[in-house]
Amino acid sequence: MIKFYANSTHFYDKIHVFVRDKRGGTLAFPQQIVWETVTSEVHFPEPLFKLDHEEVQSLMDALWDCGIRPSEGMGSAGQLAAVQNHLKDMQKIAFTYLEMETRHD
C-alpha cells in the first residue's frame, strides 16, 4: 500500500512530501520527479501516479497535518453539523428568553 508523509519546512516555506510503498514485506520509494519539456501544443501526458481512495486519503491526511486546507468550501461535514447544532441551541435560548414560539423549518 502506498503511504504519504509530509512535513512543513517553515524556513524554506515548503511542504516536503514523502511516499513509500510497502508490498510483500519490502519497501520502495519513488525518485524525484523529472520534468519533461514538450514541443507540441497538443500533448496528452500520462498521470503522474494513480491512487486508490485509501491512498488518496493518506495524502490528504498528511497535508492536513501540515496545516493545508481546501482553498474554497465550507469545511468538513462534521464542522458544519456542529455549527448547525449550535445555531439550533442558540435559537432555542433566544426564543425562550424573548418568550417567542420556536419556528419549525
Q: How big is the chain, counted in residues? A: 105
Same structural domain, 14 and 56: yes
Query: What was the pLDDT predicted at 65?
Result: 92
Question: DSSP characters for 12-80?
Answer: TTEEEEEEEEEETTEEE-PPPP-------S---PPPS----HHHHHHHHHHHHHTT---SSS---HHHH
Structural domain containing residue 45:
2-69
- CA-nearest of 37, 68, 89 to 97 is 89
- The backbone region for 32, taken as left when phi is positive above 0, alpha when psi lies in -120 to 50, beta otherwise, is beta
pLDDT at residue number 18 = 94
Query: Where residue 30 falls among pLDDT bands split at 50, 70, 90?
Result: very high
Over residues 35-81, the pLDDT tens digits come to 889 888 888 888 988 999 999 999 999 999 998 888 876 566 678 88
Please state the domain count of the chain. Answer: 2
Pairwise CA distance, residues 67 & 61, whole Å: 10
57 lies in the same domain as 33: yes
With cut-offs at 50, 70 and 90, classify the pLDDT of residue 27.
very high
**Are 62 and 84 in a shared domain?**
no
The whole-model pTM stands at 0.60
What pLDDT shows up at residue 103?
A: 58
The confidence score (pLDDT) of residue 51 equals 93
